[in-house]
Structure 1
């Protein structure tokens, strides 16, 4: 996993770009708006404004929110390495998983609990599928 980004290291425009990119991924994973807001710890109004693609809109994200964006991007990257077809890359997160950690729940459900541990552990379990050693 890449090191956590500091909030000072990114401009507001870069925050918007990262947020919109991750919202696009979450949408392809079939996340609801409520799930996306919990996963990224953003408000409904921030979610709505990011989805509207206003050109003059900007947002400041704190280090926790940037870490969440990083984890979603890393999960997406791991899924792209594991699977060849887009159906699995984008469908895996919504599929029930019998792995002990997921216990029959979809990874998306676990991530949408909203706590950092669930998001991080989801990343670790998916990353391990590609052979990552922890």
Structure 2
């Protein structure tokens, strides 16, 4: 294995469930529909439904792509919390139409809900630059 190879971390089923629930909670506060949340995280509707229930013993196996998507949602949320003091902005930003070049009048959630990793990552990258006022 080379030094540039991506290292895949194994996550326990309970870690996967905790991460998924955290990401779904954020997506819910961003007012994502269940369909949008499923596309952003690349999960099935049944997994969404089970994760949304209050069963503390529920666990799930997720692949590395799904865990990377969860990580990006959590990191977008963290960046928004640094940029904005007002919870209305932290949670409302995802629905605000954005006229910067990448978004072209679309809301960040609309872009993320396209479902491809590039759209999710590029949304994160552009929001992350707000922390340094580079936008």
User: Could you say which residue in structure 2 is the equivalent of 1:21?
Assistant: 22
- 3-state SS in 2 of match to 1:130: helix
Any stretches of 5+ residues in structure 1 without a counterpart?
none
**Residues 1:86 and 2:87 aligned together:** yes
User: Could you say which residue in structure 2 is the equivalent of 1:6?
Assistant: 8
Any stretches of 5+ residues in structure 2 without a counterpart?
1-5
CA distance in 1, matches of 2:8, 2:54: 24
Cα distance, 1:56 vs structure 2: 2.5
- 3-state SS in 2 of match to 1:110: helix
CA distance in 2, matches of 1:5, 1:92: 32
User: Could you say which residue in structure 2 is the equivalent of 1:71?
Assistant: 72
Residues 8-45 of structure 1, C-alpha deviations (whole Å, 9 max, x = no match) = 1x211111100000100000001000000000000000
Q: Residues 1-134 of structure 1 correspond to what in structure 2 (within 5 A)?
A: 6-8=8-10, 10-131=11-132
Cα distance, 1:7 vs structure 2: 4.9
CA change 1:11–1:92 in 2 (3 A) is same
Larger Rg: 2
What TM-score do you get using the length of structure 1 for normalisation? Answer: 0.92
Residues 49-89 of structure 1, C-alpha deviations (whole Å, 9 max, x = no match) = 00012123210000000000000011000000000000000
| Count of equivalent residues | 129
CA change 1:68–1:132 in 2 (3 A) is farther
What TM-score do you get using the length of structure 2 for normalisation? Answer: 0.91
CA change 1:40–1:132 in 2 (3 A) is farther
CA distance in 1, matches of 2:37, 2:53: 15
8 A Cα contact 1:5 1:66, kept in partner: no
Cα distance, 1:132 vs structure 2: 7.5
CA distance in 1, matches of 2:123, 2:37: 15
